[in-house]
Amino acid sequence: METGLPPRLIGLEQVVEGARKRALAAMSSECDFAVGLETDFYTIREEQFDVEAAYMLSRGGKWSLGFSPSFPIPKWIYEEVLKGTYRELEEAVETSTE
């Protein structure tokens, strides 16, 4: 689903905005609630972490936000994903363990 955001969403603000835009795009006249999911990276003290955000939206405009547990990403994987060597974190992890 197109969000109008860049392919890599670095930082919690961008991850949340991506999830919000996905929820808005999923809302239709046939539903009372919509959920948007987005995942990517954020950095704390020069260490990268992976996180998923879930944005729940009601027809009336009320919303709620939740996050998955975060975990650190090895620097080399983070850099390869940013360079475009891998499209997703999962692909980088699977390739590195083969």
Instruction: Give the pLDDT confidence of 27-59 residue by residue, as tens digits.
Output: 988 999 999 999 989 999 999 999 999 999 999
Closest CA to 41 of 76, 15, 6, 80: 15
65 band by pLDDT with thresholds 50, 70 and 90: very high
Is the pTM of the predicted complex or chain greater than 0.85? no
Predicted pLDDT of residue 82:
86
* Mean per-residue pLDDT of the chain: 88
Predicted pLDDT of residue 2:
65
Beta bridge partners of residue 55, listed in sequence order: 36, 65
Beta bridge partners of residue 57, listed in sequence order: 34, 63
1 band by pLDDT with thresholds 50, 70 and 90: low
Predicted pLDDT of residue 97:
60
Which runs of E-coded beta strand occur in 1-98? 33-44, 47-58, 63-67, 71-72
